[in-house]
């Protein structure tokens, strides 16, 4: 962990799943109240997630978020009215490489997000119900991902075989180095996005848009896609249930998401400043 800075925090960028949200994708009342207290104290607040913009709307409304939010790990940054601030698509070569690698894995389901849609080839895949519950809308079934190659926001390889996803992450990183970001947003999700689609760049873009120096920003998260913003933020906070590799890259570690860790972190590390 780095030495925790002492300057006041003016902007908090938070992950959603595993951080603000409970395992059933709901918000606890403690979290809602902590975010309200944050905003009443004049601290700006927004969201950065691997989810598509459409799957953020319920949380945005519940928390009263009125700033641009970062979807697809920062690949798309959207104003409250739905207009785009930033959009980065996965290069076609990286998309083809990723799809070819994942296609050879019988234990892996492959999904593509493009044009606001969640695209699948097999709607009966075992991971589909979990994703549909989390997103709040069903997939679009396609015969091929090829027609969408020019405008892919994110490719996801998902499996309950988490060891396999760790192995695939290492393999794919070597194949698309310099072309794409590869990270596990959750243990069962391996995300592939454009190089610029990372939460670190998203934090920097949002901070610049809001006129807040990076040293006066904070970032909070639990997944393998969150250290990118930890490295840019003035204060970084990892959730208690995060993997050790994620915790080691944060300035502070709070309780888990089922123990209201986000609310505790806001109260302990940000509001007193």
Q: Does residue 215 sit in the same domain as residue 151?
A: no
The residue-averaged pLDDT of 123-133 equals 94
Q: Does residue 185 sit in the same domain as residue 202?
A: no
Q: Does residue 146 sit in the same domain as residue 105?
A: yes
Q: Does residue 37 sit in the same domain as residue 172?
A: no
Q: Does residue 33 sit in the same domain as residue 61?
A: yes
Q: Does residue 249 sit in the same domain as residue 187?
A: no
- 1 in any annotated domain: no
Nearest to 53 by CA among 23, 26, 87, 22: 87
Residue at a domain's end among 150, 166, 194: 194
Q: Does residue 82 sit in the same domain as residue 201?
A: yes
For 245-258, the pLDDT digits (tens) are: 999 999 999 999 99
Task: Flag whether pLDDT at 269 surpasses 70.
Answer: yes
- 125 in any annotated domain: yes
The rounded percent of the chain whose pLDDT value lies above 90 is 90
The contacts of residue 5 (CB under 8 Å, 6+ apart) are: 215, 234, 235, 251
CA dist., res. 245 & res. 186, Å (int) = 13
Q: What confidence score (pLDDT) does residue 273 get? A: 64
The residue-averaged pLDDT of 222-245 equals 96
- Supply the mean pLDDT for the chain: 94
Q: Does residue 231 sit in the same domain as residue 216?
A: yes
Task: Flag whether pLDDT at 108 surpasses 70.
Answer: yes
- Split at pLDDT 50, 70, 90, the class of 104 is confident
Q: Does residue 181 sit in the same domain as residue 206?
A: no
Residue at a domain's end among 140, 159, 194: 194
CB < 8 Å & 24+ apart, contacts of 239-245: 239/18, 239/19, 241/18, 242/18, 243/187
Ranges assigned E (strand) in the chain: 11-14, 44-47, 69-71, 76-78, 84-87, 109-114, 117-120, 140-141, 154-158, 180-186, 189-194, 217-221, 235-238, 252-253
**CATH code of 178's domain:** 3.30.1240.10
Give counts: helices (H), strands (E), the chain: 9, 14
The residue-averaged pLDDT of 150-167 equals 96
Nearest to 75 by CA among 165, 200, 178, 237: 200
CA dist., res. 176 & res. 234, Å (int) = 30
Q: Which structural domain, as residue segments, surrounds residue 180?
A: 92-194
**CATH code of 206's domain:** 3.40.50.1000
Give the burial string for 125-160 (b: 16+ CB within 10 Å, else e): bebbeebeeebeeebeeeeebeebbeebbbbbbbbe
CA dist., res. 121 & res. 119, Å (int) = 7
- 3 in any annotated domain: no
Beta-ladder partners of 14: 47, 220
Q: Does residue 118 sit in the same domain as residue 172?
A: yes
Q: Which of these ranges, 2-6, 76-80, 89-93, has the smallest mean pLDDT?
A: 2-6
- 168 in any annotated domain: yes
Q: What confidence score (pLDDT) does residue 7 get? A: 78
Phi, psi of 23 (to 5 degrees): -55, -25
Which one has a higher pLDDT value, 82 or 231? 231
The residue-averaged pLDDT of 58-83 equals 94
For 14-47, the pLDDT digits (tens) are: 999 999 999 999 999 999 999 999 999 999 999 9
Q: Does residue 106 sit in the same domain as residue 119?
A: yes
Q: Does residue 70 sit in the same domain as residue 134?
A: no
Which one has a higher pLDDT value, 11 or 2? 11
Residue at a domain's end among 179, 194, 209: 194
How many folded domains does the chain comprise?
2
- 112 in any annotated domain: yes
For 180-202, the pLDDT digits (tens) are: 999 898 889 999 999 999 999 99
Give the burial string for 8-29 (b: 16+ CB within 10 Å, else e): ebbbbbbbbbbbbbeeebebbe
Q: What confidence score (pLDDT) does residue 272 get? A: 76
């Amino acid at each position: 962990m780095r030495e925790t800075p002492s300057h006041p925090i003016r902007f908090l960028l938070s992950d959603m799943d595993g951080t603000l949200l409970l395992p059933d994708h709901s918000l606890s009342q403690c979290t809602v109240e902590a975010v309200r207290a944050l905003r009443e104290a004049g601290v700006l607040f927004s969201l950065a997630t691997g989810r598509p913009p459409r799957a953020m709307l319920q949380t945005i409304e519940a928390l009263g978020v009125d700033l641009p939010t970062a979807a697809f790990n920062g690949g798309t940054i959207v104003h409250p009215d739905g207009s785009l601030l930033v959009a980065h698509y996965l290069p076609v070569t990286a998309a083809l490489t990723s799809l070819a690698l994942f296609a050879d894995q019988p234990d892996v389901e492959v999904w593509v997000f493009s044009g606001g849609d969640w695209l699948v080839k097999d709607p009966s895949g075992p991971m589909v119900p979990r994703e549909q519950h989390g997103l709040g809308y069903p997939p679009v079934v396609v015969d091929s991902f090829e027609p969408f190659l020019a405008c892919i926001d994110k490719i996801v390889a998902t499996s309950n075989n988490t060891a396999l996803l760790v192995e695939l992450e290492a393999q794919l990183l070597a194949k698309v180095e310099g072309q794409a970001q590869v990270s596990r947003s959750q243990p069962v999700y391996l995300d592939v996005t454009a190089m610029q689609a990372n939460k670190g760049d998203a934090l920097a873009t949002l901070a610049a848009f809001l006129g807040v120096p990076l040293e006066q920003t904070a970032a909070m998260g639990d997944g393998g896609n969150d250290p990118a913003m930890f490295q840019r933020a003035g204060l970084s906070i990892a959730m208690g249930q995060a993997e050790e590799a994620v915790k080691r890259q944060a300035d502070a570690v709070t309780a888990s998401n089922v123990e209201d860790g986000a609310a505790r972190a806001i109260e302990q590390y940000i509001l007193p400043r």
